Structure 1
Amino acid sequence: MKLKRIIMGFFIFTVLCAGVMASVSPAMAWTYRIKKGDTLFKLSKEFGATVSALKNNNGLRTADLILAGDTLWIPDAEAEPMQNSRGQSDLYLLARLISGEARGEPFLGQAAVGAVIMNRLNSKDFPNTIAGNVYKKGEFESVSNGQIWEEVALSALKAAEAAISGYDPTGGALYFYNPAKIHSKDNWIWTRQVIGRIGRHVFAI
């Protein structure tokens, strides 16, 4: 009888612990600490969510009731950030590249950078893995200068997931560049056919 009680107690303890662990993860990874100057409109563009969704998810009555230092819960925070055939390592590596190359860009621009990498996987002219493209020698400034290892923005994670899931606002681009950073008229990138521009980046094939 005593042994039975011990076993039953351990079972209940295990179930309770599992419930606690499930309730705290991974939602905490999908919160944002509000900074001075933030507005719901600005954050909606950053995270790819609507103002209405941000308000509803945080119990806000108006878009003006956010204060610096408060925590904002992002819509779908309770969901796992990756629900497809590619692994977490691919997701986070792509998010790191997006964060390094498109920091400060709107969500559309960040997703576009991710889409370029995904498009390259289907081209015979590029490596067929995300890592192979990201670490291709001399390809990306953020890899060369180490910015790829800085803190990853939440918007970059969401943009990476969108790109891996097939979202491509570029229409098939294989290249992107910031023309303001290219000072040589003879740079090979000028020979590529431009198909669009999002934010500071030009997208080409």
Structure 2
Amino acid sequence: MKKLIAILTVLATLLFASPTFAYTVKSGDTMTKIAKENNLTLQELSRLNPQIENLDLIFVGQTVHTNNPEPEPAKPEIIVGYSEYEIDLLARLVRAEAESEPYQGKIAVACVVLNRVDSPSFPNTIKEVIYEKGQFQPVQNGQVNKPADEDSIKAVHAAIKENRNFAAGSLFFYNPAIATSRWLDSRETTVVIGNHVFKQ
């Protein structure tokens, strides 16, 4: 009988034990202290513990959750034919060239680079097209090194997938209001979006 009670006690302990991401409140604890000890902000700790309505009122023996169960890591989206580096580089160029332009204008800028990759008149990779000497102002002034924003990343994905022909074969774009060189004026216009004129 004693053996049976011992086994049941062990089982109950295993079944009803607090999970490893829970903390039992001790004397002198505060939510701020618990948050700090677990590398959380007070807001994060509060979000993990909706059952605690008043953060200034916790008691000894109370269970405070200190971590989310481990989420399954997100699988990166794979785009066939381009490396992660190339996608990021293109998104950074799009941000630098078209940050204040409409979303469709961002897609069109990405399409220009992709059209150049496909054209025999330009290099064969995104990196080589972007870094070809004298082609893109953000490369010269270092703006291309700043991180891409969410809209630019989405625009690059759209340009590669569903909107690949959006810029109608454009190989160039410029803002005529600020351009210092006018040689693109004579080329055929394919589309105008925002401040940018796209040319073949």
Q: Shorter chain as normaliser: what TM range?
A: 0.5 to 0.7
Instruction: Give the RMSD, CA atoms, in angstroms.
Output: 2.1
Judging changes above 3 Å, is the alpha-carbon distance between structure 1 residues 180 and 81 closer, same or farther for their aligned structure 2 residues? Answer: farther
Q: How big is each residue's C-alpha offset from its partner over 1:136-181, in whole Å with a ceiling of 9 and x where there is no partner?
A: 1111111111111123111111111122226232111111111111
Taking CA–CA contacts closer than 8 Å with sequence separation of 6 or more, which of the two structures ends up with the larger relative contact order? 1
**Residue 142 of structure 2 aligns with which residue?**
146
**Residue 199 of structure 1 aligns with which residue?**
194
Partner SS state of residue 70, structure 2:
helix
Judging changes above 3 Å, is the alpha-carbon distance between structure 1 residues 138 and 166 closer, same or farther for their aligned structure 2 residues? Answer: farther
Distance 1:189 1:106 in 2: 22
Distance 2:127 2:176 in 1: 25
**Residue 115 of structure 1 aligns with which residue?**
111
Shift of 1:104: 1.5
Judging changes above 3 Å, is the alpha-carbon distance between structure 1 residues 97 and 190 closer, same or farther for their aligned structure 2 residues? Answer: same
- 1:29-178 alignment runs, 5 A limit: 80-165=76-161, 167=163, 168-178=165-175
TM-score of the superposition, structure 1-length normalised? 0.59
Shift of 1:81: 4.3
Q: What residue identity is the alignment partner of 1:193?
A: E
Show structure 1 runs of 4+ deviating over 2 A: 19-23, 80-85
Distance 1:183 1:145 in 2: 16
Compare the two structures and name the one with the higher helix fraction. Answer: 1
Which sections of structure 1, spanning at least 5 residues, go unmatched?
A: 1-18, 27-79
**Residue 177 of structure 2 aligns with which residue?**
180
Distance 2:111 2:154 in 1: 12
Partner SS state of residue 170, structure 2:
coil
Partner SS state of residue 173, structure 1:
coil
1:189 to 2:184 alignment: yes
Judging changes above 3 Å, is the alpha-carbon distance between structure 1 residues 89 and 198 closer, same or farther for their aligned structure 2 residues? Answer: same
Distance 1:180 1:83 in 2: 36
Distance 2:133 2:112 in 1: 17
Q: Does structure 2 retain, via aligned residues, the 8 Å contact 1:91–1:164?
A: no
Distance 1:194 1:162 in 2: 22
Judging changes above 3 Å, is the alpha-carbon distance between structure 1 residues 166 and 115 closer, same or farther for their aligned structure 2 residues? Answer: farther
Aligned residue pairs, count: 132
Distance 1:188 1:113 in 2: 19
Shift of 1:188: 1.8
Which sections of structure 2, spanning at least 5 residues, go unmatched?
A: 1-68
Q: How big is each residue's C-alpha offset from its partner over 1:105-132, in whole Å with a ceiling of 9 and x where there is no partner?
A: 1211101000011111111111111001
Q: What residue identity is the alignment partner of 2:108?
A: A
**Residue 24 of structure 2 aligns with which residue?**
none
